[in-house]
Each structure stands twice: as C-alpha cells, then as structure tokens.
Amino acid sequence: MSVIQLGGRVRERTMGTADLWAIDMLSDMVIDLAILSASGISLDRGLTTPDPALQALKRRVVQVSQRRIFVGISTKFGVRSFCRFAQVADFQTLITDGGLTAYDARRYSEQGPEVLRV
C-alpha cells in the first residue's frame, strides 16, 4: 500500500490540502479507491461543498478514481451546499449511520450506489 500526501494550501479547519498544486498532482494519477466526504449530499444536487477550491479538488478525485465511496453522518443527507462536485450516481457505496431512514436509503440507492447504514 502506498500513501501519497497531496501538496497545496493546508486548510486550517480540516488540515486537508487544496488548490491547484493538489489538483495538478492528481492529473496523471489513476486512483483505485477514493473515500470522500461532503458538506452535503442530496438527491437533486448530488455531493456539495461550500469551498470552490475543494470542489475542484474533489471533482478531480472523482474523475481519476476507479471506485468511490462516500462516508458521512446522516445529517449530511438532504443538505445542499454552494458547489457541487459529484452526482450520487458517481459513487458505488454510501456509508452513513442509522439516522438515515430506510426510506431515504432506498431513494439514494435508486440512483445507483449501495447504501450502508451502520
């Protein structure tokens, strides 16, 4: 297993990197599995974030990865933020807690991904 840390501006709140340096590093990569979170995930807007720099970075990750998993607390579902970076159908699996109702889990799974409530 190889772990690669992307370069770029370190975000104070999350300590994650963003901006053009990180995006450029991803341009020539083929990622087997990407595990992503989002500020919001909704049926109509997909996965969103409030930060345009993160939008660009996450969009690139979605483009270069073979498989994608969303991991997020159930309170993220039904939430829309400023910038969309992916559609629900771009993900193979959505993992959340039991706070997401079975009805809502089924609605998300109808767009393609398996929904796991753990």
- Residue 112 confidence class, pLDDT cut points 50, 70, 90: very high
pLDDT, tens digit (0-9, with 9 covering 90-100), for 32-75? 999 999 999 999 999 999 999 899 999 999 999 999 999 999 99
| pLDDT over threshold 90, residue 20 | no
pLDDT, tens digit (0-9, with 9 covering 90-100), for 95-111? 999 999 999 999 999 99
- For the chain, how big is the Rg over CA atoms in Å? 14
Percent composition of the chain: helix, strand, coil (DSSP 3-state, to 5)? 30, 30, 40
Taking Cα atoms as reference points, which of 5, 36, 35, 47 lies closest to residue 22? 5
Query: Using CA atoms, how far apart are residues 46 and 24, in angstroms rounded to an integer?
Result: 24
Residue type, 44: D
Strand partners, 35: 69
Q: Residue ranges of the domains in the chain?
A: 34-117
Q: What is the reported pTM?
A: 0.91
